Structure 1
Amino acid sequence: MIVCFDIGGSAIKGAVAHSVERIEPLGRRPTPLDDFNAFAETLRLVIDEAGGKQDRIAISVTGVVDPETKAIKCANIPCIDGRKLSAELSDILGVPVLVANDADCFALAEAGAGAGHGHRIVLGVILGTGVGGGLVVDGKLINEDGGFAGEWGHGPAVASVAGTPPVAIPAFDCGCGQRGCVDTIGGARGMERLHLTLHGKTLTSEEITTLWQAGDAEAARTIDVLVDLISSPLALTVNITGATIVPVGGGLANVTPLIARIDKAVRARILRKFDRPLVVPGECGIEPGLIGAAILGLGGEFQ
């Protein structure tokens, strides 16, 4: 038995995992942001709620573990930023602790129990507030030891012109410190930024996608440009990884027509041709972070 966690900037969600098919949710608690002792104690309370003897703890968390130093970089939860989280929590909780990025856990969940089940190479993509991703090969997370593999949302990869007819697109500053990253135009905030740039109007991503599906011309222009901008870097990532399925999570994954548009554009730009959908909505709609953490903790027993 393991206890798994999905930890974000607002909440810590826990579950007991006996197998991938048997994951029992535990309590949900606010995330202590500035007090590491309180953070660790919150985990302990959830573990105590689980009862029994745990083989290990597995955590899906916002942030990236450095594969060499094992320190985590996590802007959303200051009290864990820079810490060797796995080792420190193992000492405090008295049980081995595995830590992985939340996008990586999404990819692991989709590979084991979602749209990627049965595929050898699964590229999980997040189109949420921003853009993220994770890579699973032969049932194993490429980033088991930490790192940035699969993070197609960062790096200056956005074209300077896009859409039909073409329009100039500025290289927006990214939170990672670079300019022109896919993250700046590809997620919900990116869509809103594009709409403001193209039309001088401030709308939410929900408003833009609703207007688009209702036939609004300005919203359609925004979606056209967005799809054009993100499809080439995503196609390149598919070419490099050899992924045969690309499940999508995050809020924009719920806009099925948008995912279908991206799929069509990506399949037109990759070397290998598929006569079936490649970029698809993720199937682990409820708690993919917990499912991915469970699979991580269980050692990939879904195979």
Structure 2
Amino acid sequence: MIICIDIGGSAIKGAIATSPDAITPLERIVTPLDDRAAFDAAIAAVVAQAPDARAVSISITGVVDPRDGRIKVANIPCIDGRALAADLSAQLGKPVLVANDADCFALAEAGAGAGRGHAIVFGVILGTGVGGGLVVDGKIVNGAGGFAGEWGHGPATATSAGNPPLAVPRFPCGCGQVGCVDTIGAARGIERLHQHIHAIAATSTDIIAAWQAGDVAAARTVDVWVDLVASPLALVINVVGASIVPVGGGLANAPALIALLDRTVRQRILRRTDEPLVVVGQCKVEPGLIGAAILGLGAHHD
């Protein structure tokens, strides 16, 4: 038995796990953002609910450097730069594992979702931002700096897209670069494209609903969005050799959108297949906890 925890910018969610299929949720706690002592106390309060747990496994919205365990997490300032696993392990008296939430999503899908039976799984997040995680033979691939799988950043977007082609600027990204997939691929990105193309402000949910209802303007936005996102994703798939690409995040709530992205991606990869490749993730409820459970149980068998 282990404690698995999913830490986001708004809530800390905990659970007791005896297997990936046997996860008992615990009460949620508001995430302390600026108070390190309060943050540590919140984690301790979760762990205290299962004193016999052998270890703690954490999914978190941040990137962990595998060299020293230090975490980069902009939206929780009180832990930014900390060697979080080592610090919490010393305080709790238990082994602690910490992994990126997109990595945990990919691990959840590889072990208990759409990626079961696949050797190479690339998990994609299309939500508030664009993220990803790579799992090979059931293991997370971290890479230098912990950034493996982070396909959302880097100047990768085209400057024209859609049919007929439309000029698209390379938008500045919060990471400091311009033209990142994150600037157009996420929910805010599709909204940004709609504003650019039509000078109309609309939510991603409304844009997708209008597209499905046959709205011409929304269809144009979706056409440009798919064209821009499909090419960098196809390149990633060529490089890593993934045979399945589960998608999570808010945009995954629109199966028709993911199906269109899938068809376009399969036209642009080297490996030809009639089988769906980019699919909606199957771990609908708390994939961060499921991934953390798989990670922790794999490292600490009862």
Coarse TM-score class (shorter-chain normalised): over 0.9
Give structure 1 stretches of 5+ with no counterpart: none
Aligned to 1:173: 172
1:4-43 equivalent positions in 2, closer than 5 A: 4-43=4-43
Residue range with higher mean Cα deviation, 38-47 or 226-235 = 38-47
The superposition leaves residues 212-271 of structure 1 with CA deviations (integer Å, 9 ceiling, x where unpaired) of 011000000000000000000000000000000000000000101000000000000000
The superposition leaves residues 83-122 of structure 1 with CA deviations (integer Å, 9 ceiling, x where unpaired) of 1111111111111110000000000000000000110000
1:253-268 equivalent positions in 2, closer than 5 A: 253-268=252-267
State whether residues 2 and 17 of structure 2, in contact with CA within 8 Å, keep that contact through their aligned partners in structure 1: yes
Matched residue count: 301
Return the alpha-carbon distance in structure 1 between the equivalents of residues 292 and 144 of structure 2: 14
State whether residues 106 and 135 of structure 2, in contact with CA within 8 Å, keep that contact through their aligned partners in structure 1: yes
Q: CA deviation at 1:146?
A: 6.1
Return the alpha-carbon distance in structure 1 between the equivalents of residues 236 and 75 of structure 2: 27
State whether residues 139 and 300 of structure 1, in contact with CA within 8 Å, keep that contact through their aligned partners in structure 2: no
Secondary structure of 1:23 counterpart: strand
Aligned to 2:132: 133
Give 2:37's aligned amino acid: N
Q: 1:194 to 1:301 in 2, by over 3 A?
A: farther
Aligned to 2:45: 45
Return the alpha-carbon distance in structure 2 between the equivalents of residues 266 and 112 of structure 1: 24
Q: CA deviation at 1:70?
A: 1.9
The superposition leaves residues 106-149 of structure 1 with CA deviations (integer Å, 9 ceiling, x where unpaired) of 00000000000110000000000110000000010112896011
Return the alpha-carbon distance in structure 2 between the equivalents of residues 56 and 229 of structure 1: 42
State whether residues 62 and 101 of structure 1, in contact with CA within 8 Å, keep that contact through their aligned partners in structure 2: yes
Aligned to 1:188: 187
Q: 1:301 to 1:21 in 2, by over 3 A?
A: farther
State whether residues 122 and 246 of structure 1, in contact with CA within 8 Å, keep that contact through their aligned partners in structure 2: yes
State whether residues 54 and 300 of structure 2, in contact with CA within 8 Å, keep that contact through their aligned partners in structure 1: no
Aligned to 1:3: 3
State whether residues 55 and 96 of structure 2, in contact with CA within 8 Å, keep that contact through their aligned partners in structure 1: yes
Residue 216 of structure 2 is aligned to residue 217 of structure 1: yes
Q: CA deviation at 1:67?
A: 2.1
Return the alpha-carbon distance in structure 2 between the equivalents of residues 124 and 30 of structure 1: 27
Q: 1:186 to 1:301 in 2, by over 3 A?
A: farther
Return the alpha-carbon distance in structure 2 between the equivalents of residues 229 and 237 of structure 1: 14
Secondary structure of 1:298 counterpart: helix
Return the alpha-carbon distance in structure 1 between the equivalents of residues 98 and 177 of structure 2: 26
Aligned to 1:250: 249
State whether residues 59 and 98 of structure 1, in contact with CA within 8 Å, keep that contact through their aligned partners in structure 2: yes
Return the alpha-carbon distance in structure 1 between the equivalents of residues 131 and 74 of structure 2: 15
State whether residues 26 and 50 of structure 1, in contact with CA within 8 Å, keep that contact through their aligned partners in structure 2: no
Return the alpha-carbon distance in structure 2 between the equivalents of residues 101 and 258 of structure 1: 26
Please report the TM-score for the alignment, with normalisation by the length of structure 2.
0.97
Give 1:256's aligned amino acid: P
Return the alpha-carbon distance in structure 1 between the equivalents of residues 93 and 143 of structure 2: 21
Q: CA deviation at 1:300?
A: 7.1
Moved over 6 A (4+): none
Give 1:92's aligned amino acid: Q
1:1-303 equivalent positions in 2, closer than 5 A: 1-51=1-51, 53-143=52-142, 147-299=146-298
Q: CA deviation at 1:68?
A: 2.1
Return the alpha-carbon distance in structure 1 between the equivalents of residues 139 and 171 of structure 2: 34
Q: 1:47 to 1:145 in 2, by over 3 A?
A: farther
Secondary structure of 1:49 counterpart: coil
Root-mean-square deviation (Å) = 1.4
Return the alpha-carbon distance in structure 2 between the equivalents of residues 190 and 45 of structure 1: 37
The superposition leaves residues 53-73 of structure 1 with CA deviations (integer Å, 9 ceiling, x where unpaired) of 222110000010122232111
Q: 1:301 to 1:278 in 2, by over 3 A?
A: farther
State whether residues 295 and 301 of structure 1, in contact with CA within 8 Å, keep that contact through their aligned partners in structure 2: no
